[in-house]
Structure formats: C-alpha cells, structure tokens
Amino acid sequence: MPDCGVMQMPSRFRSDRRLTVRMGLTLFLLGLLYVAFVAALIALLRSWVLVVVIAALALGAQYWFSDRIALFAMRGRVVEPAEYPALHGVVDRLSALGGLPKPVVAVSELDMPNAFATGRTPDHAVVCVTSGLLRRLEPAELEGVLAHELSHVAHKDVAVMTVASFLGVITGLIVRFAFYSQLFGGRRDQNTAVVLAGVMGVSAAVYALSFLLIRALSRYRELAADRAAALLTGRPSVLASALTKVSGDIARIPTRDLRTAQAFNAFYFTPALGSDPGLSRFFSTHPRLEERLEQLGRISAELGEPTAPGGA
C-alpha cells in the first residue's frame, strides 16, 4: 500500500458523533436481527452446524473481499501514478491533508459519472472513479468528490456498510434459493414444503427490516461525508457544483444502462437512478439532491466562501 512518505497522523476529517451513534445503533439492531435470523433457520432446518458455518463463511468473504468484489462488478482496475498522474496527485494531496493512509486508486471504464470507496479499514481502502466522471468534472470538482469518498474511509462507515449489507445479501439469496427450489424442485412432501415456506417467510421479513435500517444509515452517512469534505477542502460550492453536474448527467443515462450499477448504490457518490426514479426515491440510499445542496449552501455561508460560478 503506497504511503507517499507521509507520516500518518490522526485524521483531520471532521468527526461526526451522530454518525458514530447511528452506526453503532444500526450494527446493534442488525446484530440482534442476525441472531434471530440464524436461530430461526436452525429451528427450521434443524442443523445449527450447517447454518452457522455457511453464515460465518459468507460474512468473512464479504468483509475480507468486498473491495475486490466491488471492483470486479464495476469493471474497475487499480491504476498506477504513471498512468493517471493527476488523479493520484489529488488523492496524495487529500490523504496528506486529511491525515489518512493513501488508499489504492482505481478507475472503472464505465461512462456513468460516479465514484465510490470500499475496504475494511483505512489501511486497506480503495477509491475508484469512473472514466465518465474524469471526463466530465473540472479538477476542483474532482477534488471535492474524492474528499467526499475519503471522508467515508476516515469515518469508517465503508466497513460498517459492508458488514451491515451482509444480512440483506444473505437473506435475499436464501429467498431466491427457496423460491426456485419450490418452483423447480418437483414433488415434495408436506413437511419439506412447510420448511421451505418458513425459510422464505423469515428471510423475507429479515431482508425488509435490514433494508430499511441500512437505507436510513446510508442517507445520513452521505450528508456526513458531504459536510466533512466541504470543511476539509474549504470549498463547499465546488462539491455542490460536482453534485449538480453528476446528478444531472446520470439522470440522462437510460435506466436500462444503470441496472447493473444500482446494486452498489449505497457506496456511490450519487445514486445510479434514471430520469424517472419512481418509487425507488422513497427508499433511496442517498438524501435528496436539494437536501445535500442546502447543507452545502449553509456551510458555504458559515465559511464566508466566495460564490464563484462552477466553484473554480
């Protein structure tokens, strides 16, 4: 992991006590839900060893390999400073300014303008930007987006979201498995059908509850990241300009081209939603654009920042 020769210091990204409390509460509630879920599966399947081993392996895999999974899914690749010197230069500068270890830098060839951070700790973090983002943003706007992503690393909410999303992933897979087992499994005795129905019911309920908890945490952590990035760079108007530009460009991309990306919405700078998000906006991983811009406007006024067009 490159460290740029910078002595690591405590992070200078603005801490957020309310975010820390929300992360702790969410993990606690999800932990209770997870225990109840495992207990229900053990009671239904009558094999605690199988359930515990599968659950532990799945959690371990998601925690340790989440960065690789995300990069693979989003067609991202690690890039060296010689290949993207300007991008590395911004990450170097922000990492030093924020007192963070420099993360691995990656680029996705997707045209959708976006960025995300992943990794289990600040020492094992990855920041990825799409080629579409690099083409569309001015250097100052790119700095604002990367400061936002690095603030997720500093707040450690990337790891929390990875662990928190584990339960939803597992229950979603179980629901699909049980559904297709009933659909294509041929004739079954009554007891087997009852067990499969019970597994589907418990998994569906757990998935719904974990979905709501994760969405609530995700919306707040995005506001916290905007706030920390704006205060670190001292240029909230630049981040607002990037938000407006990226959100507008994503809205013009056909929804069918965004479907693959939507599975990772919780980790993006701004969600991959089409021009007509429909009901999905009520369960969004991100707060409304207007809410984010209003917060950045307040911070800009507090800092006495000049309101230059484009944030340049």
Whole-Å CA distances, 123 to 2, 3, 66, 95, 104: 10, 10, 14, 12, 9
What is the Cα–Cα distance from 164 to 176, expressed in whole angstroms? 20
The one-letter amino acid at 231: L
Establish whether 149 is a catalytic residue. yes
Contact 210, 164 (CB under 8 A): yes
What is the Cα–Cα distance from 268 to 222, expressed in whole angstroms? 9
Strands 125-130 and 104-108: parallel
CA of residue 68 relative to chain centroid, distance: 14
What is the Cα–Cα distance from 226 to 98, expressed in whole angstroms? 14
Contact 231, 183 (CB under 8 A): no
Token pair belonging to 153: 């690393």
DSSP 76: E
Residue with tokens 């992933």: 169
Look at residue 268 and give its three-state secondary structure.
Answer: strand
Burial class (CB in 10 A: 0-12, 13-18, 19+), 96: middle
Whole-Å CA distances, 203 to 36, 65, 187, 200: 11, 24, 23, 5
Q: Which of 80, 109, 143, 149 is catalytic?
A: 149
Angle in degrees, 0-180, between the axes of helices 190-233 and 17-45, rounded to the nearest 10: 170
Report the catalytic residues: 149
